[in-house]
Amino acid sequence: MFALEVHNLRKEFFRRDATRTRGRKRRRRVAALEGVTFTMERGECVAILGQNGSGKSTLVRLLSTLLLPDGGSASIFGHDVVKESRPVQRLVNRVSVEASFFKKMSSEENLAYASRFYGMPPSATKTAIPEILERVGFPVGRRHEGMEHLSRGMQQKVALARALLTSPVLLLLDEPTTGLDPRSKLEVQDFIRDVWASHDATILLCTHDLREAEVLADRVGILDRGRLIALDSADVLKEEFEAETLEEAFFAATGRTFEDEKDEDAERGVFA
């Protein structure tokens, strides 16, 4: 059985447009994901590389049952994300850039809340919470401080700690290091590697950091304007696209430079 099986997955959004036709605002269709198909083995770490707007977060939200697809299917350890959302929610854990917390509550309280949701007994969380905070490099002495007083890097560590507290089987990491300072970034990457090695976790890592994809993942997927146009080990991708670096391979595959952070919507097949 695959840890993750995605078949022809589609998602589109409609958005109000500023331009008007006969006095009326037009609605634009944005195809966020188009026919995405791939599988992951248990224990694998797959990175999905894509620029802003390429569909990474949409993919992660569909897999974590936060969004419903418009077509195709996805299953996690054999459980359909639409029809069996409850077991899927127990198997996956999402860490996103915009990690959501109860801002007035402390990191410890947020973790305790999450552990209840996943059905952990309070006795087990009492020791587990400080332990896991320590492991992610969070200053344990600050675990009673409100989340709103913590830096982004620290909040990100708490988000990872929360994902790990409940021993996730499939970790969905949506740009876990974006916006972190270089040092926190390395710490978080080390930690991801550590967890992967010690937890028998399967990891889907969405990133727009080439190096992160290359050092952490078994296979790297290239998501471009909602389409998964390649998925292979970094070495095979380089060979396939006759590139020296992953960056060159990305360019060869998409026709666009990677660092370029402009909004993809302008180029995407968007229409009224």
Ligand X SMILES: Nc1ncnc2c1ncn2[C@@H]1O[C@H](COP(=O)(O)OP(=O)(O)O)[C@@H](O)[C@H]1O
Q: Residues in the site for ligand X, rule: CB under 6 A?
A: 13, 15, 30, 32, 50, 52-58, 265
- Cβ-based nearer residue to Mg ion, 56 or 219: 56
Identity of the residue, 112 or 171, whose beta carbon is nearer to Mg ion in the bound complex: 171
Residue 52 or residue 73: which is nearer to ligand X going by CB? 52
Residues 6 or more apart whose Cβ sits within 8 Å of residue 146:
103, 104, 105, 106
Q: Are 1 and 241 in contact (CB under 8 A)?
A: no
Going from the C-alpha of 190 to that of each of 137, 173, 187, 269, the distances in angstroms are: 11, 14, 5, 38
Contact status: 93 vs Mg ion (CB under 5 A): no
Closer CB to ligand X, 37 or 146, in the complex: 37
For residue 58, state whether it binds Mg ion (rule: CB under 5 A): no
Give the neighbor-by-neighbor strand order of the sheet with 45-49: 92-96, 170-174, 202-207, 45-49, 219-224, 227-232
- Least separation in angstroms between residue 225's CB and ligand X is 8
Tell the smallest beta-carbon distance from residue 63 to ligand X (Å): 12
CB of 54 to Mg ion, least distance (A): 8
Q: Quick one: which H or E segment has residue 192?
A: helix 182-199
Q: Phi and psi (nearest 5°) for 69?
A: -75, 160
Among ligand X, Mg ion, none, the one that 254 touches (CB under a kind-dependent 5 to 8 A) is none
Told to check if 57 binds Mg ion by CB under 5 A, we report: yes
Give the nearest distance from C-beta 95 to ligand X in angstroms: 14
42: Cβ contacts below 8 Å, ≥ 6 apart: 1, 2, 3, 77, 200, 202
Q: Name which of 66, 95, 74 is nearest 8 in CA terms.
A: 74
Q: Which is nearer to ligand X, 81 or 132 (CB)?
A: 81
Of all residues in the shown chain, the one whose CB is closest to Mg ion is 57
Q: Name the binder of 93 from ligand X, Mg ion, none, CB < 5-8 A by kind.
A: none
- The site partner of 55 among Mg ion, ligand X, none (C-beta below 5 to 8 Å per kind) is ligand X
For ligand X, which is the closer residue by CB, 175 or 187?
175
Binding mask 14-53 for Mg ion (x = CB under 5 A): ----------------------------------------
Cβ–Cβ < 8 Å for 248, 36: no
Q: Contact, 6 vs 72, CB < 8 A?
A: yes
Q: Tell me which H or E stretch contains 32.
A: strand 24-40
- Beta strand 170-174 with 202-207: parallel, antiparallel or unpaired? parallel
Which positions lie near Mg ion, rule CB under 5 A?
Answer: 56-57
